[in-house]
Structure formats: structure tokens, C-alpha cells
Structure 1
Amino acid sequence: MKILAIAGSNSEVSMNKQLVAYASTIFENAEVEVIDLNPYEMPIYKHERELKNGIPQEAKDFAAKIDAADLLLISLPEHNGTYSTAFKNVFDWVSRIKDRTVWNEIPMLLMSAAPGVRGGTGVLEAAVKRFPFHGGNIVETFSLPFFNDNFDRTVQKISNEEKDNELKEKIKKISAIETILEK
């Protein structure tokens, strides 16, 4: 199984990148690529820019990574109740590629981590509502609140046993679905 683990952030110390990287280690017998958005930085989407210059190569490269995956792990930071600007811009550009949906119906585990009590639930709610219109096949969601208290940065693992078990159960369910699909 090929897993593309996407941190929806351009932060160099992204807690969502740490979460998605950790989640990817729980899957057995998987080929995993963990990416953040820094290599996919493009001009802010503008219709006139698209008409003049076309779709940037970075958007096409991002879409190709999605298309090569069997499973998407996406962890989104919450910025003012929704996606980070870096993520939204990549999402917007990829959505403009002719004859494709952004997520291409590839099964996904959608996650968010945040330092506060809500754990990024605002961005998860926004994504759960929006992604299906763009080919999002959301199998599970997971939220990690109080990231600084519930994630051990030294060993790169969820330290809250209850939250760690919750994530592992969701991954177990996804792994079972993926095993059935492979047959």
C-alpha cells in the first residue's frame, strides 16, 4: 500500500506534520511519503493568472502524488477556523486542473492537531463538508487537542494513551478496508 501523508502546513515545526508522520508509522507493510507544502508554494490563485500562465507545475506535481497513492493521510492546521492559506492555495490550484477532482476518490484519514481544547475541529468540519465535492473519500477523522500536552516531541508519538488508542483503532479500521480493496 502506498500512503501519501500530507501536512497541510508550510510551518517548519508543524504539529500537524508531526502528527501525520506519526500516524503513518502505525500502518504495517506500507510505502509512505510524508510531505509538507513548502515545495508546492505557488502564486496565490487568481483567475487571470491562470488564463495568462496556466496551471503551475507545482500543482500538477502535487496532483500526481495524490494519484500515485492508495491512501491519503491529511493533517490540517486550523487558521481562524479553517484551512491554512498555504493549504487553500494548493487546493485551489489543483482544483483547476482539467478533468480531475482534487482528491480523486482516494480513501483518506483526515486529521488535525492544535494546541487548544478543540483540536482543530473547525478545520475538520470545514474539510468534511467541502472535500466530498472535490473527490474526497473520507474514511475516518481524528482530532488531537492540547498537542503540547498530548504529543511527545522527543519520541514523536502521541503520549495520551486514550488518544493514541483512538488513532490506532481508526487506522486498524482503515487498514482492514484497504486489505479488502487490494483483493
Structure 2
Amino acid sequence: MKILAFGATSSSKSINKQLAVYAANLVPQADVDVLDLNEFEMPLFSQDKEEAIGHPQLAKDFLARIEQADAIIISFAEHNGSYTVAYKNVFDWASRINTKVFQNKPMIMLATSPGPGGAASVLASAVNSAPYFDGEVKGSLSVPSFYDNFNSDEAKLVNQELNQELAAIVSKLTS
């Protein structure tokens, strides 16, 4: 199974990327393709910009990476209660090419933050909107207080309760 995993942020130190990759590696014998949103930096989307330049190749490349995957794991960073600009921009460009951005792929949606909220607001938005873009959400999880629950040096979730919950959700990708 080929899993596309990424943090929905452009941060080079993304805790969400760490969480997404960890979750993807819980799938036995998975081929994990780690996507970095920085590889898809494009002009800010607007209808005027679309008329002027058409659809950027990078947006097409983003959709191709999704197409090549059997499943998707995204972990969302939250900026002011919503998506990061980096994710929203890539998503907006991609959705103008194909409104079925997620291409009927099974998905796990995650979110984390350093604080106790665990980016739950953006996660709820993502889970609720995914079906409109042909995403088949198999499960979701917000991980609060990332630095208390995840050991970055060992690249693993150390909170056993959260780890069991994540493993149960991720197992739905293969069932």
C-alpha cells in the first residue's frame, strides 16, 4: 500500500508532518511517500491570477501525487483557527483543476499543536469538507499538547492511550 503523508503546513519543523509520517509508518509494509508543501509553492490563488496564468504545473503535480497513492494521511496545523495559507493555496489551485481533489482515496485526518486544543477546530473543518472533495475519511484524531505526547527524538507518540487510538484509526486504511 502506497500512503501519501504530509503536514498541511510549510513549516520546516512541522510537528504535523512528524505526526503524519509516524501514523503512516504504523501501516504494515506501507510504502510511505512524504510530501512537503514547500515543493508546491505557487502564486496566491485568485480568479484573476487563474485567468492570467492558467493552472500551474505544481498544482497538477500535487494532484498526481494524490493519484499515485492508495491512501492519504494529512495532519493539519492550525493558524488562527483555520487552515495554513500554504495548504489552502495548494488546495485551492488543485480544486480548480479537479474538484475531486482527494480522488476517492481513503484518508486519515489528524491535527496537533503545542497547546491543549490540538488544532481541533481546523481538523473539524477538514473532516466535514473532505467528502465534498471526494475524500473518504476513515478516521480522525486531534493530538493535544504535542511536546507532552510525542517524542520527536524517537519519532513516536509516547502517550499510550493516544497511540492505541491512532493505531486503531490507521488500521481502517487496510480494512
Q: TM-score range by the shorter chain?
A: over 0.9
Task: Give 1:181's aligned residue.
Answer: none
Partner of 1:2: 2
The amino acid that maps onto 1:110 is M
Partners of 2:77 and 2:166 in 1: CA distance: 17
Aligned partners of 1:173, 1:46: CA distance in 2, in Å?
Answer: 37
Query: How many Å separate the matches in 2 of 1:133 and 1:170?
Result: 21
5 Å matches for 1:86-105?
86-98=86-98, 100-105=99-104
With normalisation by structure 2, the TM-score equals: 0.97
- Establish whether residue 62 from structure 1 lines up as the match of residue 62 from structure 2: yes
Aligned to 1:162: 161
What CA deviation, in whole Å up to 9, does each residue of 1:100-148 have, x standing for no partner? 5111111100000111112111011111121211111111001110001
Give the partner amino acid of 2:78: E
For the residues of structure 2 that align with 1:117 and 1:23, how far apart are their CA atoms?
20
Q: Aligned partners of 1:140 and 1:122: how far apart in 2? A: 16
Query: Which AA in structure 2 matches 1:144?
Result: V
Partner of 2:50: 50
For the Cα contact (< 8 Å) 2:76–2:110, is it kept in 1? yes
C-alpha RMSD of the superposition:
1.0
Asked whether the 8 Å contact 2:71–2:173 carries over to 1, the reply is no
**1:28-47, aligned counterparts within 5 Å?**
28-47=28-47
2: CA distance, partners of 1:130 / 1:77: 16
- Gaps (5+ residues) in structure 1? 178-183
- Rounded to whole Å, the distance in 2 between the matches of 1:109 and 1:10 is 20
Identity within the alignment, %: 43
Name stretches of at least 5 consecutive residues in structure 2 with no aligned partner.
Answer: none
Kept after mapping to 1: 8 A contact 2:8/2:37: yes
Q: CA deviation at 1:170?
A: 1.2
Give the match for residue 119 of structure 1. Answer: 118
In structure 2, C-alpha distance between the alignment counterparts of 1:157 and 1:118, rounded to whole Å: 20
Q: Supply the AA of the counterpart residue of 1:30.
A: A
2:173 maps to what in 1? Answer: 174
2 CA distance for matches of 1:114 and 1:156? 16
